Amino acid sequence: MTEPVTLADHERLARECMDPGAWAYLFGGAADEITLRDNCTAWQRLQLRPRVLRPLVGGHARRTLLGRELAHPLLVAPMAYQRLAHPQGELASALAAAVMGLGYVLSTQASVPLEEVARLAHGETARGPLWFQLYLQPDRGLTQSLVARAEAAGYEALVLTVDAPVQGSRDQERRSGFQLPPGVVAVNLPDGVATAAGGPGLCGGLAEHAPTWEDLVWLRSVTQLPILLKGITHPDDARLAIEHGAAGVIVSNHGGRTLDTVPATAVLLPEIVAAVDGHVPVLVDGGVRRGTDVLKALALGASAVLVGRPVLHGLANAGATGVAQVLRLICDELEIAMALCGCRTLDEVGPAQLQPRS
């Protein structure tokens, strides 16, 4: 293939160069992968309404989020074990996001030390926000030490993932017999703690450690960092998140990796935006593969969008350069869509750019 010109091209190239087991782990979804597929098709089904002859002079796609400016309303979603895709792993993806002035969220299960990622990203003067994704650990002492390390390293917010107290049934991955290769580990965690199981209770005892709203209250008491909740799909949970002091919510079904047959995030987003009613920013991820998808998410009321798997495709193809290419494609397509919809800035993007659902 010649130079990839779409995210789909990057996906095809990545598939050719990757080990099938790693592919199944990184890109598979839960069960029948219905949510995984729906996430993409739901954005495609929304239709845009162009406007013509509107002034576009001085336009830009910048967005301010929790007091920080992004060059485009995009962040890299937290994804575990990125060294499966490229030896430089999270260092490469974080560098690409930073160079482009976009946000980056580092996973608790990152395969490089969180301090190294922060040092690298901080070296880029035009960088966007750097956030740390947190999985609450069964041991509060361990959670607190992770938070303290993230604070000390200069992460600017915590993204508390709440939709995966247990792992989904990822059949493609199980069928492949995938095992993490030697040398790719969650280096920021002492070995095995995140997966400690065994004993009575649901899911072999894992559900005994499932976090609750009380844990969010506790987390707020041990950090000054703003906390966004990732994995909100129900408007009542969005309201509870605000009541418990969340600084933002991320509408996400974990990219279809946890519970299958959850509705697509493009379908869920309007209900959550209505429930949040402007109190905190609402972000969204899942199935975003085009700049037009980003525009549609913003038109439905999202403040920004997180991109997952396409970043790993770019990473597998060409490290930081590949990630930068992927992010550049989405940003370029977003700017084209803005111009063709007659939107000079993102503040002009709203329901008027979408064909109402029949």
Ligand X SMILES: Cc1cc2nc3c(=O)[nH]c(=O)nc-3n(C[C@H](O)[C@H](O)[C@H](O)COP(=O)(O)O)c2cc1C
Query: How far are the Cα atoms of 81, 148, 157, 172, 182 from residue 111, in angstroms, in the given order?
Result: 5, 19, 20, 22, 12
**Binding flag, residue 133, ligand X (CB under 6 A):** yes
Cβ distance 347 to 301 under 8 Å? no
E strand spans, the chain:
63-65, 68-70, 74-76, 103-106, 130-134, 157-161, 227-232, 248-251, 282-285, 304-307
- CA 341 to CA 349: how far, in whole Å? 9
Take residue 343 and report the two structure tokens written for it: 């939107």
Question: Which x/- pattern, by CB under 6 A, does the window 68-87 give for ligand X?
Answer: ---------xxxx-------
**Binding flag, residue 114, ligand X (CB under 6 A):** no
Minimum CB separation of residue 308 from ligand X in Å reads: 2
- CA 22 to CA 8: how far, in whole Å? 19
| Binds ligand X by CB under 6 A, chosen from 165, 287, 314, 319 | 287
Minimum CB separation of residue 236 from ligand X in Å reads: 21
Nearer to ligand X by Cβ, of 162 and 343: the residue is: 162
**Binding flag, residue 297, ligand X (CB under 6 A):** no
Per rule CB under 6 A, count of chain residues that contact ligand X: 22
Please list, in sequence order, all residues whose beta carbon lies within 8 angstroms of the beta carbon of residue 1, skipping any fewer than 6 positions away: 9, 12, 13
- Let me know if 209 is a catalytic residue: no
| Binds ligand X by CB under 6 A, chosen from 73, 129, 165, 286 | 286
Question: Which x/- pattern, by CB under 6 A, does the window 169-208 give for ligand X?
Answer: ----------------------------------------
**Binding flag, residue 93, ligand X (CB under 6 A):** no
The CA angle 274-277-280, to the nearest 5 degrees, is: 120
Q: Which of the following is catalytic: 10, 72, 254, 313?
A: 254
Minimum CB separation of residue 338 from ligand X in Å reads: 21
Catalytic annotation, residues:
254
Residues forming the site for ligand X (CB under 6 A): 26, 39, 77-80, 107, 109, 133, 161, 230, 252, 254-255, 257, 285-288, 307-309
